[in-house]
Amino acid sequence: METITIIALVHFLITYVLLLALPKYRPYVALVSALIFVIYLNFSFKEVFYAIDWNVILMIAGTMGIVYLFIESKMPALLADKIIAKTPNVKWAIIALSLLSGLISAFVDNVATVLMIAPIALTISKKLNISPVKSIIAIAITSNLQGAATLVGDTTSILLGSHAGLNFLDFFYDIERSKIGMFFVVQAGAIASTLVLLWVLRKDKQKIESLEMTEVEDYGPTVFLILMIVLLIMASFIEDKPQITNGLITMGLFVIGVFYNYARTYDRKVFINSIKSIDYFTILLLMGLFVVIEGITKVGVVDEIAKFISKTSTNPFIIFTIIVWVSVLISAFVDNIPYVATMLPVTAIIANKTGVDPFLLYYGLLCGATLGGNLTPIGASANITGIGILRKEGYEVSAGQFMKISVPFTLAAVTTGYILVWLIWH
């Protein structure tokens, strides 16, 4: 391993230790770390610009804006009232929200899902005067889990589909190979992890009493939100679309929504409040992390990890096991997109050398890398977003507090997926 690679690895490890240890200062840690990478790797402005996933940044900002209008319309309050009326206690209310989050996340980006569902959880918590921390964490980690269920649920699924030539239906049933796809594996993992959530929430038995239903006077923001979901799903089927398509959809609808709101109220504060609704803390954190990840990718840290795995053994079960569980560990701290992009061709080479079905390793990689991001609060953008929402509400979530829920949840889901993928594809 070259000296520059070792230096980058140490730098990267220090960065993530500080991110875990200093939750209030995460954007500053990420931005300073990114600046150091830029300096000693001599990044050009163009390289820095393209290192940042502007589609994600625009989508987060646009969705935050749309969700702000959605909240102002009082629709989340009405949905909260309906959930309160149908659930006997806090535990089942959180389970209901997490299942709703998972359903949406199978077709819409995980971050967008969290931004849609979190306001409902916040409203329920405020009405019952309880902490929203558990419910927001449950929503975030469930959205990450279901992102692997379909071709359009997560970027890693899209990468796999492109590399392996999979279409939307192959994730349900692979007709060519006569085997069930990742969707049903994820659902089995969801059942196991939901049982874990029920155990984690076993003491949250506060009774929920039905309250008077909130009246919604303006359904415009709800229409914009539904339209956003529909357009994001439709865009996922378009081939060779611009990389920032989803970001442009959400930002465009946000801008239209702001002007719609102004036309309805003629209040100029609509513009100011809409701009303030965007969580710049989270956006700056992600921008810094994108540059840091580009840095460790450029100097070969990710490549060295991939080479190490490929040289460990030729036994199919051992290779499969290593790919799944090392992916879980790495994705707990590293963005899984560059990791999966790097590992896909590596798994293809390993499969060719060992004679094992490449889809066994592909799905093992997807299972470990996508679900593994749930282990830590910085392992997935949805987790970062959820914690950002809580911070904005005055709740600082420690790594230990997050992992008390996320670790058993993730282990249940990954273990279930690990067993099923091996049984189906071996």
pLDDT tens-digit series, residues 272-289: 888 888 878 878 888 888
Express as a percent the part of the chain with pLDDT over 70. 97
Answer whether 310's CB lies under 8 Å from 341's CB: no
* Confidence band, pLDDT 50/70/90 cuts, at residue 305: low
Distance CA 105, CA 116 (A): 10
pLDDT tens-digit series, residues 68-77: 888 788 787 7
Written as one string, the DSSP assignment of 25-43 is GHHHHHHHHHHHHHHHTT-
Answer whether 424's CB lies under 8 Å from 185's CB: yes
Distance CA 92, CA 207 (A): 10
Q: Do β-strands 179-180 and 173-174 pair in parallel, antiparallel, or remain unpaired?
A: antiparallel
> Which uninterrupted H or E stretch holds 193?
helix 182-200
pLDDT of amino acid 189: 93
pLDDT tens-digit series, residues 209-251: 766 677 887 888 889 988 988 888 788 677 777 878 888 998 9
The number of residues in the chain equals 426
Answer whether 111's CB lies under 8 Å from 60's CB: yes
Amino acid at 189: G
Answer whether 375's CB lies under 8 Å from 400's CB: no
Taking alpha carbons only, the member of 297, 358, 371, 295 closest to residue 327 is 371
Max mean pLDDT among 247-251, 264-268, 380-384 falls in 247-251
Statement: residue 335 has pLDDT above 90: no
* Confidence band, pLDDT 50/70/90 cuts, at residue 254: very high
pLDDT of amino acid 407: 93
Statement: residue 32 has pLDDT above 80: yes
pLDDT tens-digit series, residues 121-136: 888 888 788 889 999 9
Taking alpha carbons only, the member of 305, 297, 288 closest to residue 8 is 297
Distance CA 333, CA 20 (A): 10
Express as a percent the part of the chain with pLDDT over 90. 23
Statement: residue 25 has pLDDT above 80: yes
